Structure 1
């Protein structure tokens, strides 16, 4: 079984009931795994230390997060990305964020020490946090802190980001490093936050050629996404020869998600997760760290992450979800939930001509990216 890292205190990362980044997503996921009879016996990680966080973040930024966490007035909070609609201040935000960082870092240390090959962190994935500012619901960048631990151990890290939003923070932190490959497949920044992640962002200095971005057109469907995925990722791994994968498994490219415009179904996610598992076996001997990430439709996000968990554990996929679990959560949320693990409805209908145009644009993007970085690879 793949070790699972989780702590109940993850739920304390809470920007309030009206904020889209809700801890209810994790609570729903955990209770669904329990209802299916597959709840893990998780490893409870230690909280990341201040020194751990400072491996990536600046002293001034961490001090501001700590002050905000204590409720102290901060006239310059917005200069550090704090006290904004995306990252409102809440009491205890520093330990809440460090608890989640601790989970991802613990998973990395298990892999670096040889105690585990593959680990699933049931949380984390805060890919927008920058060294000196919060952004996009992200306070501390758990992914880059974990990547630092892996590279400190002499491992070459391929970071793969399937969130609908560009993994800008992780990219920026490792932009000049040749021991970290960052590869993000996301909706184009022409249409979606954070407005970055274009094919000309390829790294700098020693890191040139090790930052890869695949900006996808809005309304990209399963077939086009998977075709683009295959045109880039396997070749990048062959070139880079990683020792370990770090994968941010955002679920917000699903067609139901309110904060993105891609049209992936759960069938695409099943294929992606199985493919990532196979690529890890092929290129890293199975070494891989998986985290969660974005996902803002409760119904879709929980089903996508349940697929991730079941596939990593080689467990059977149920057709229908437990009815008692579904009724309970429908009452709590005040909305209906899909009764099956896979989607019961179809995505927004796009005309055949438009679908072909989108697919062609995505193929051209992938080809331009590969042409651009081949200079640095060969």
Structure 2
């Protein structure tokens, strides 16, 4: 099942902001041009009460006021009106529409659907009391809480290049939520968190896992630690459902980060996540989108996700008409294939050192959480 509505594109911080609704316009137009677009389920927007299941009344009131043009001087205390998260008219409704899509995915899982792809959302930085990092409301946490209140154990896997901090902190003391984030180290990248020692508190102790990766990590090292960590943690936790934030900003073309994944690595990750859902979560998985700021790389990664999700054969080349249209609109060439060309970037001289450091980080993480997770 795919969930999407065109009004997701109302979530728009302006023409020069990297979190651009053009990403969704390009993605859906490419899927249509490839002949694989199937009519999605159009979800309702989330209610105010549903947003309040994970956010404070104070934050919601400030978002509502800012949406009407009432700009209180304390907006920056709530993460609003900043360079990252500027205010715009109708922001509250636009954010609730995205929340509604992910929440509808959770409802469908509870109703018996096994696989759901929400073509939007993934706003993992939003905190209980504060917007952050392009994220106003946390759609992922609203969906997770909806499922845990229904008695499900939820494993959240975040492959965005930035730490999934909002989801982690909202569920930090919850034993029924496993959060697992692989990201570029917070020593180098926003939000500066996601260290291995952030492992949860109280009932959540040992159920919050972070694997901060070295800048310039490539496919082989990333997949090595991913395949060592994720099934190990899922087998120990025994979830009822996976929730996956499928950010595309670890791609080597991304301008806001320093990991070097190619589209081939993403294809492998998506296939593995579907396998892990079958092996450890009864086949139940809810995917969302997330970050991704190279239009060329991001749209191809999410097109791969759509194909892998549906078990479709991959096209050898993108449609010429689509390429011409978007190259003219963007004023630059686009990669004509889903996969990246060979030798897409210069060889990294520290490759072995980076891989070794990532292995050591994985070892430290598993040693920290094993006493709590494996019991």
Alignment TM-score > 0.5, same fold: yes
Find 2:134's aligned residue among 132, 137, 153: 137
In 2, Cα distance between the equivalents of 1:339 and 1:7?
27
- 3-state SS of 1:120 partner: strand
Match of 1:299 in 2: 296
Find 2:147's aligned residue among 147, 150, 155: 150
Match of 2:58 in 1: 60
Residue correspondence of structure 1 range 32-51 to structure 2 within 5 A: 32-51=30-49
Match of 1:126 in 2: 123
Match of 1:30 in 2: 28
Match of 1:371 in 2: 367
- 3-state SS of 1:52 partner: helix
Residue correspondence of structure 1 range 174-189 to structure 2 within 5 A: 174-189=171-186
When the two structures are superposed, what TM-score results if normalisation uses the length of structure 2?
A: 0.99
In 1, Cα distance between the equivalents of 2:362 and 2:264?
22
In 2, Cα distance between the equivalents of 1:27 and 1:351?
34
- 3-state SS of 2:32 partner: helix
- 3-state SS of 1:181 partner: strand
In 1, Cα distance between the equivalents of 2:320 and 2:250?
26
When the two structures are superposed, what TM-score results if normalisation uses the length of structure 1?
A: 0.98
Q: CA RMSD in A?
A: 0.8
Residue correspondence of structure 1 range 304-319 to structure 2 within 5 A: 304-319=301-316
Q: Is the 8 A contact 2:114 2:285 kept in 1?
A: yes
1:73 deviation in Å?
A: 2.3
Find 2:242's aligned residue among 242, 245, 248: 245
Residue correspondence of structure 1 range 271-282 to structure 2 within 5 A: 271-282=268-279
- The ranges of structure 1 where at least 4 consecutive aligned residues each deviate by more than 4 angstroms after the TM superposition are none
Residue correspondence of structure 1 range 290-369 to structure 2 within 5 A: 290-344=287-341, 346-352=343-349, 354-369=350-365
Match of 2:195 in 1: 198
Match of 2:88 in 1: 90
1:178 deviation in Å?
A: 0.3
Q: Is the 8 A contact 2:175 2:207 kept in 1?
A: yes
Q: Deviations over 1:225-258 (max 9, x none)?
A: 0001012101000100000000000000000000
In 2, Cα distance between the equivalents of 1:359 and 1:258?
22
Q: Deviations over 1:120-155 (max 9, x none)?
A: 000000000001111000000000000011101110
Match of 1:79 in 2: 77
Q: Is the 8 A contact 2:216 2:348 kept in 1?
A: no
Q: Is the 8 A contact 1:263 1:347 kept in 2?
A: no
In 1, Cα distance between the equivalents of 2:299 and 2:267?
13
Q: Deviations over 1:42-67 (max 9, x none)?
A: 10000100000000000000000000
